Amino acid sequence: MSHSEFGDITPTQYDSAYEWLCTTGLLEQPADTDLSASRIFEAAVLTGEPAWFRDADELVLSPDDLPEDALRAAGALGLDLETAFACVSHIWGKVDTAAREQAGHAGELALLELLQKNTTAEVVHVAAFSDGYGYDISVRNGNFEHHLEVKSTTRRGRITVFFSRNEYSTMMRDPSWRLVLVRLNLNMEITGLDEISRFWLKKHSPSDSSLNGRWESTRFSVSSDALQPGMPFASEYLTAQANPRVIELLTAS
């Protein structure tokens, strides 16, 4: 492109574009044409925050599913559909992983604090010591003990949880194991609690087809019939001074 092609750009537009390039770190990238075009496309999707991106794993399953705004951006940058689709998959995976890790950690700590402050049970964050238990929090009260695997989400629509082989194996052999869904708002505060049925999990878990192959992790799209609102077992251990909001969350009343 010649400089004359940018003659109609105002100083304000130029400054805005330059500021955007600085903010995204694109000016620090190697001057490779293909890499730069891909990075610009990825940065445009991330900073533009299009409505479809949050659910790209469900909405954009192939290059043919790319939304119109993504197609226009890809065309402007000279990217073919396969490259644009690869870029979307790449950045969605990074963003989703980071968001899940943030929500997962926040949800565990929030539930831990809720149970420690409002129940008479001994509540221990075992995941802080090791990730090999197959659950995150132990709750013990007298002769009763519950092992809680915690999954957290900030989504209000569909519920997606990731399940490891170790968690599955623990569920199969440990009658005290429970899968708890912690619903969070954007401030990482608990807005709801559900138990996910272990029978539903067993029914929908994958199976190894031969001795030569073994699944290690899977993703569930949890249906509403698998959810039991609240955590009734924990409500039995509430202290006399329990927060009314906590009582509401545990009993789903």
pLDDT by position in tens, the chain (length 253): 445 555 566 666 666 666 655 666 655 655 554 457 888 888 888 887 788 888 888 889 999 999 999 999 899 888 999 999 999 999 888 888 888 888 889 999 999 999 999 999 999 999 999 989 999 999 998 888 999 999 999 887 788 899 999 999 999 999 999 999 999 998 999 999 999 999 999 999 999 888 888 999 998 999 999 999 999 888 888 998 999 999 999 988 7
Residue 192 lies in a domain: yes
In eight-state DSSP terms, residue 203 is H
Domain end marker among 62, 79, 96: 79
- Residue 86, classed as helix, strand or coil, is helix
Domain count, the chain: 2
Q: Would you say residue 233 lies in a domain?
A: yes
Considering the domain architecture, whether residues 73 and 146 belong to the same structural domain is answered as: no
114 & 223 share domain: yes
User: Model-level pTM?
Assistant: 0.76
CATH classification of the domain holding 136: 3.40.1350
* Residues 57 and 110 both lie in one domain: no
Tell which of 79, 95, 122 closes a domain.
Answer: 79
Residue 132 located in a structural domain: yes
**Residues 164 and 46 reside in one and the same domain:** no
Q: Which of 105, 132, 121 has the alpha carbon at shortest distance from 231? A: 121
Report which secondary-structure segment, H or E, holds 159: strand 159-164
Last residue of a domain, one of 23, 44, 79: 79
Q: Are residue 134 and residue 245 in the same domain, yes or no? A: yes
pLDDT confidence of residue 9: 65
Query: Is 99 inside any structural domain?
Result: no
Residue 91 domain flag = no
pLDDT digits (tens, 9 = 90+) for 51-68: 888 888 888 999 999 999
Residue 112 lies in a domain: yes
Whether 136 and 20 share a structural domain: no
Judge if 185 and 130 occupy the same domain: yes
Tell whether 158 and 201 lie within a shared domain: yes
The answer to whether the beta carbons of residues 212 and 125 sit under 8 Å apart is: no
- Is residue 123 located within the same domain as residue 231? yes
From CA 155, how far away is CA 180, in angstroms rounded?
Answer: 15
In a domain, 186, yes or no: yes
The phi and psi torsions of 77 (rounded to 5 degrees) equal -95, 0
Residues 216 and 153 occupy one common structural domain? yes
Assess if residue 135 is contained within a domain. yes
pLDDT for res 30: 56
Domain match, 123 and 187 both:
yes
Rg (CA), the chain: 24
Q: Among candidates 159, 181, 164, which has minimal Cα distance to 107?
A: 181
The residue segments making up the domain with residue 54 are 9-79
- Nearest-angstrom CA–CA distance, 189 and 182: 9
Instruction: Verify that 136 and 204 share a domain, yes or no.
Output: yes
